[in-house]
Amino acid sequence: MKSLSSTGFALFGAALVAISYGLARFAFGLFVPPIRAELELTPYLIGIIGALPLISFLLSTLVAPFAADHLGARNAAVLSGLFGVGGLALISQASDALTLGAGVFACGICTGLMMPALTAAMQALVNRSLHGRVSAVMNAGTSIGVAVAVPSVLFLSGAWRFAYLSFAVMAGIGVVAAWYFIPSVSRITPTDAAPPAPISAQQWSRLFRLSLFAFVMGFVASAYWIFAPDLMATLGALPPSATGWLWLAVGIAGLGGAVVADLADRNNPPITHALMLMMLSASLALLAASPGQLVLATFSALVFGLAYMSLTGLYLMTGIRLLPGRLSMGPVLPFMACALGQAAGSPVVGVLVNAFGYADTFAMFSAIGILVAILSPLYPRHLEHEFEEEVLEDTGLQAAFDHQLLDADGEPLMPDTGADEKP
């Protein structure tokens, strides 16, 4: 194994996430129009198939921390990549809804195993103070994978089988790289290190609120990820190849999500959450209002990509802050909630499209997102922030003594007797 710096690991992790999340999971919506036409699938059936990788993601995420601990980070990442290779190859050869569903289900397992494997490796390679920032960079790799899928639609219109076969080859390269760069151990812990403190009721409460917000965001975003290209092709009468510009915009704008999530994490998460969820909801309404205008549809994708990646990065970093030292739980719970929201939303969108059409369905989901954005003041703040505020309010001589600095022997540090000391 070749050792990586913190920056190198963040970039390498982003590349693996690009394959497992961008290509194996989210690129599916980009190819819905040609797949639906060739296999003669209804919107409802597409909605069911679109939910399968999210269900398998949830199931694999439940066992992923145990897999990372018992198999080691390297083997868990390799296993994830092998599921990706198999799923992508199966999709490329799909002849009906059953084989297509089996392929996307395997891709969901790939996605669920990858991030816990990377976080286990991060504990061994990256300083703890950088975990949140490195995780945000790796999360932005989803945008890279989505953008990589675009040329196959722009220049190989209708050749979705060849595109997925190419993705399988890229996933195979990722498997080899994971074996070479990721350490075999799940984490490195000093023998005298204290175990993480028990999870308090306050932490559980805030994790529950965080997961609820993540669930609703995933529910609303499912309409865009699965049905936005089909909306453009069906309602807007645009050629399937034109939808490539939609995903290219999502991928490019999504790269800014790492920056926004990091800034929000250090400043005001509730306000940023409200703004980004409003933007995500507005992108659905804008696409439904102008599906036949490529420029406006592409602009909606820019807004959606920035908002979605910012929100997922924010959920990831908030989970790490709420449960420091528990990377197998803190960032995993909101990701599971987001995937569960998408799994629930995908078939609901399919049913509503059959009943009301694309425009009304996207408007409904947009309204749900806006309503929940108004509740963003309930978004959980970091426990560390509250502690700092309590310290500021604690005053008096006893407080001054309790919070003064101590030397190596545990004795209070005496004030410096410099020239600026008052007599």
Q: Return the CATH number at 167.
A: 1.20.1250.20
The backbone torsions φ and ψ at residue 409, rounded to the nearest 5 degrees and listed phi first, read: -90, 5
Using pLDDT thresholds of 50, 70 and 90, give the confidence band for residue 388. very low
Buried b / exposed e along 70-84 (16+ C-beta atoms within 10 A): ebbbbbbbbbbbbbb
Instruction: Report yes or no on 195 lying in a domain.
Output: no
Dihedral sign, CA of 300, 352, 349, 370? positive
Task: List C-alpha distances in Å: 215 to 43, 120, 283, 292, 311.
Answer: 23, 24, 18, 30, 12
Q: pLDDT band for position 328 (50/70/90)?
A: low
Q: How far is the C-alpha of 12 from the C-alpha of 144, rounded, in Å?
A: 12
| Per-residue pLDDT at 3 | 67
- pLDDT value of position 221: 93
Q: Examine residue 210 and state whether it is found in any structural domain, yes or no.
A: yes
326-356 burial, b at 16+ Cβ within 10 Å, e below that, comes to bbbbbbbbbbbbbbbbbbbbbbbbbebbeee
Question: How confident is the prediction for the chain on average, in pLDDT?
Answer: 80
pLDDT value at 132 more than 80 = no
pLDDT band, very low/low/confident/very high, at 9 (cuts 50, 70, 90): confident
Helix (H, G, I), strand (E, B) or coil at 172: helix
3-state secondary structure of 395: coil
Q: Is 198 exposed, middle or buried (0-12, 13-18, 19+ CB in 10 A)?
A: exposed
Residue 395 domain-assigned (yes or no): no
Residue 169 within any structural domain of the chain? yes
- Which residue, among 275, 299, 268, has the nearest Cα to 285 in the 3D structure? 299
Range among 24-33, 331-340, 363-372 rated most confident: 363-372
Q: What is the pLDDT of residue 257?
A: 74
Rounded to 10 degrees, the C-alpha dihedral 73/78/80/82 comes to -170
Select from 74, 65, 71, 80 the least CA-distant residue to 23: 80
What is the tens place of the pLDDT at every residue in 140-178? 787 788 777 777 766 665 688 888 998 999 999 999 999
10 Å CB burial of residue 222 (0-12, 13-18, 19+) is: buried
CA angle 53, 59, 64 (to 5 degrees): 110
Give the mean model confidence (pLDDT) for residues 231-260: 77
| Res 403 pLDDT > 70 | no
**Cα–Cα nearest to 52, from 220, 226, 195, 198:** 226
What's residue 402's pLDDT? 47
Residues 260 and 310: their CA atoms lie apart, in Å, by 6
Q: Do the Cβ atoms of 25 and 57 come closer than 8 Å?
A: yes
Helix (H, G, I), strand (E, B) or coil at 1: coil
pLDDT at 2: 62
Cβ-based burial of 45 (10 A; exposed 0-12, middle 13-18, buried ≥19) = middle
Does residue 327 lie within any of the structural domains?
Answer: yes
161 vs 257, which has greater pLDDT?
Answer: 161
Of the pLDDT bands very low, low, confident and very high (cuts 50, 70, 90), residue 85 is very high
- Ranges 189-193, 305-309, 366-370, most confident: 366-370
Highest mean pLDDT (candidates 144-158, 189-203, 268-282, 312-326) = 268-282
Q: What pLDDT does 410 receive?
A: 55
As a whole number of angstroms, the distance between CA 293 and CA 34 comes to 20
Contact 229, 32 (CB under 8 A): yes
Determine the pLDDT at residue 385.
42
Confirm whether 217 is domain-assigned: yes
In a domain, 55, yes or no: yes
Taking 90 as the threshold, does the pLDDT of residue 268 lie above it? Answer: no
**Can you give the residue range of the structural domain that contains 344?**
6-187+201-385
Residue 211: inside a domain:
yes
Is the pLDDT score of 102 beyond 80? yes
How many folded domains does the chain comprise? 1
**Which value, to the nearest 10 degrees, does the dihedral of the CA atoms of residues 135, 146, 376, 343 take?**
-100
Q: Provide CB contacts within 8 A for 411, sequence distance 6+.
A: none
Q: How confident is the model over 40-72, as pLDDT tens digits? A: 888 788 888 888 887 898 888 888 878 877 888
The yes-or-no verdict on residue 6 having pLDDT over 90 is no
H-type helices in 323-382, by residue range? 332-356, 358-374
What was the pLDDT predicted at 411? Answer: 57
412 bridge partner residues: 406
The pLDDT confidence band at residue 188, using thresholds 50, 70 and 90, is very low
Q: What is the pLDDT of residue 246?
A: 79
Confidence tier at 394 by pLDDT (50, 70, 90): very low
φ, ψ for residue 317 (rounded to 5)? -70, -35
Strand partners, 406: 412
pLDDT at 196 over 70: no
Q: Tell me, what's the pLDDT at 33?
A: 78
pLDDT at 285 (0 to 100)? 93
Would the pTM of this model clear 0.85, i.e. be above it? no
